[in-house]
Amino acid sequence: MNNVRLLLKSPRFMIGLVVLLAILAFIFIYPLIDPGDPMEMLSLSFEKPGTVTYTGKTLVLGSDNFGRDAMLELVYGTRTSLFVGLIGGSVTAVIGLVVGLAAGYMGGKVDSFLTAITNMFIVIPSFIILILISMSLETQSSVTTAVIIGFTGWPWLARAVRGQTASLRNREHVNIARITGYSTPRIIFTEILPYLASYVVMAMILAVASSILQEASLAMLGLGPRNTVSLGTLMNWAMMFTAPAIGAWWTFVPSALVISLITFSMYLMNSGMDEIFNPKIRS
């Protein structure tokens, strides 16, 4: 509880949290005000913000190249990107934790084998793997994209968790649990994992932010899901139909701004947590 109170007093963490909560509130409240279909064509291409359609609706952010409401696309695109980020970050955290905990606690041949696998994934650029897997899939959904991103993003977390676990496995409380007859899984999850909880949460936040950036990069290359709207997809459409050349900034600037705000808020939250939970920085 003391750490939580300290965390709530951290300016960096609170600014990041407020920005993220504001974005979440916006994307869930706006559809209640304007319950439209983001894929519905309402006007001509690239209408400016404030344009009134033939149905009497005001396009707050104008229209895209297909004549669709850019504001609704931004809202639903943000939802998709956050969903992909959350799933991708979760997959990254789970794989990284399992591999890192197993390697760090068990040691020996298990450690050597898992470390070799981890190093192999680190040597090969993860974005190249993402591109190759995405190109090899005939059909792709947001969930598929998220799982692929998570599957390629775990090595760095696994390496860090392995180091932390190796330093904890010979602590007195772990030795007592081992002598008492606790099973390996029980020792790992009750005697070691709680000491890594703050680090895991921080790593999860960074993994979510990284997954959002990875999805946006894939989508901008035209390798993202084709049956849904995401922030990266919006920028891809803007580039394909030369929106920057004709000055239609409202089709790509808001998407880039939202991506920047989301990732910036998460990095601020992570930095604030690091100030509280990292003994070297705290001292």
Render 172-193 in DSSP notation, one character per residue.
HHHHHHHHHT--HHHHIIIIIG
**Residue 268: predicted pLDDT:** 92
Written as six digits, the tokens of 49 are 């913000």
pLDDT of residue 107: 83
Instruction: Flag whether the pTM goes above 0.75.
Output: yes
Burial of 55 (C-beta count, 10 Å sphere; 0-12/13-18/19+): exposed
- Taking the C-alpha atoms of residue 269 and residue 10, their distance in angstroms, rounded to an integer, is 9
Cα separation, 229 vs 83, in Å, equals: 12
Taking 70 as the pLDDT cut, the residues of the chain under it are 1-3, 138-139, 278-283
CATH value of 8-282 in 1.10.3720.10, 2.60.120.200, 1.10.10.60, 3.30.70.1560: 1.10.3720.10
Q: Where are the domains of the chain?
A: 8-282
Report residue 234 as tokens: 């919006």
Q: How many angstroms separate the CA atoms of 73 and 68, rounded?
A: 8
Q: How far is CA 116 from CA 87, 113, 122, 124, in A?
A: 26, 5, 10, 13
- What are the distances in angstroms from CA 12 to CA 16, 27, 70, 82? 6, 23, 31, 21
In percent, the amount of the chain with pLDDT more than 90 equals: 32
The per-residue pLDDT for 281 is 47
For residue 174, what pLDDT is reported?
Answer: 84
pLDDT at 283: 46
Residue 169 DSSP one-character state: T
Q: Are 201 and 13 in contact (CB under 8 A)?
A: no
